[in-house]
Amino acid sequence: MSPRVCPSCGARYSYELERCTFCDTELVDTESESGVVLAVTEVSVPSVGHEDTPYWCALLETNDGGTLIVKLGRSVLVGQHVTVGVPDEAERIVVGVLGTGLMGKGLVELLLSCGYDVVWVARSQASMDTAREKLTERLSRVMDEGELLERYRRLNAGIDMSALRRCDLVIEAIVEELEAKKSWLRTAEKAMRSDAVLATNTSGLPLDELACVLERPERFGCLHFFNPATRMRLVEVSVPDTTSAATLERLEAFSRALGKVPVTVSSRPAFVVNRVLMPLINEAVRSLEEKAAPAEQIDEAIRLGLNHPMGPLELADLIGIDVIVDIMDNLVSRTQDANYAPRPMLRQMVEQGHLGRKTRRGFYDYSAPRA
């Protein structure tokens, strides 16, 4: 919705509100505005049976010297320039997302929250219907009805790859399997314009092997977002040797436009974060196997002892135990280092279907609210 201003004291708001919280005067609509973030607070909306949905309340100094209170569906930093409504970057670019899994939904949520036009492609209509229902549930918890309708006017969701012709950038976020990604990337590239950029969200599959199936490898790279995409600020940007300097620059600029911090890393196995994280998770699982402590106490020890916001077992549940095992197996295969091999308990959990939050059972039970 358009920002609203108090005609009495001049306070401005960018969310559904009828009267000023300072002087109780009725608010009036204004044109969209932009400004620099003076202060920001993250707020989480708790819900029984669902993960918390974050949003950010920011105080802006507007271009005319006034102030504006805004509610955002994405993280921002003090000093960052923010446009209320649709950012200039979003007006100029259409972004495609391939896949309806955890990261696919997260990326679409992030892009719509930032005001981008989005083309969302799924393998089947059934998976798209399910994913869209979950997306609506999340967005409706931080947006009013008018905002939600405006965002959905910017969304083209379906199973037709030819819709990618509109896109300036396409991000592949399907299952973390090499052959599946090759197939989807090859098909997507054929549907895209020759001047568009294609990116993968892989957490560490070999980029040179993905690039070799493409006709335009110079326009291909990796944007490794972290879950949840709306909250995590890091994007690992990586490219194979065939990628042009202009494509790398576009990938970095796009990450910054989303309010993320791009860190460019070499295309070594698992990049940087997962290369460091997987041994930590493995050792936490080893401690659990050896009954050093229950899962809750292992996580609490790591949170407090290393000042981490989340323990390694809880984080594994969030990522997905099957994804963890795939990353570890990939690391062993590509580095020949058996230290990355997943612990027996991880493989057993995958066999049992206890994959973490997405199956409501992992190291923790998510079928009921945790104390």
Residue 50: predicted pLDDT: 45
- The CATH number of the structural domain formed by 4-83 is 2.40.50
Residue 5: predicted pLDDT: 73
> Residues near 192 by Cβ (< 8 Å), separated by ≥ 6?
96, 164, 165, 167, 170, 198
This prediction's pTM: 0.77
Domain boundaries, the chain: 4-83, 88-264, 273-359
**Cα separation, 235 vs 251, whole angstroms:** 10
Residue 171: predicted pLDDT: 98
**Phi, psi of 293, deg, nearest 5:** -170, 160
236, 238, 252, 287: which is the annotated catalytic residue?
Answer: 236
113, 238, 255, 274: which is the annotated catalytic residue?
Answer: 274
274 counts as catalytic: yes
Instruction: Assign domain 88-264 to its CATH architecture.
Output: 3-Layer(aba) Sandwich (3.40)
Tokens linked to 282: 């493995």
Q: What DSSP letter does each residue of 152-214 carry, written as one string?
A: HTTEEEES-GGGGGG-SEEEE---S-HHHHHHHHHHHHHHS-TT-EEEE--SS--HHHHHTT-
Task: Give the tens place of pLDDT for each residue, 71-91.
Answer: 776 677 788 877 765 544 445
Residues of the chain falling short of pLDDT 50: 1, 47-50, 87-90
Whether CATH 1.10.1040.10 fits 273-359:
yes
194 counts as catalytic: no
Q: Where are the beta strands (DSSP E) in the chain?
A: 4-5, 12-13, 28-29, 34-47, 50-62, 67-72, 81-83, 94-98, 117-121, 155-158, 169-172, 197-200, 220-225, 234-238, 261-264
Tokens linked to 288: 């659990």
14, 113, 203, 267: which is the annotated catalytic residue?
Answer: 203
Residue 89: predicted pLDDT: 47
> Residues near 126 by Cβ (< 8 Å), separated by ≥ 6?
none
CB atoms within 10 A of CB 306: 10
Residue 127: predicted pLDDT: 96
203 counts as catalytic: yes
354 counts as catalytic: no
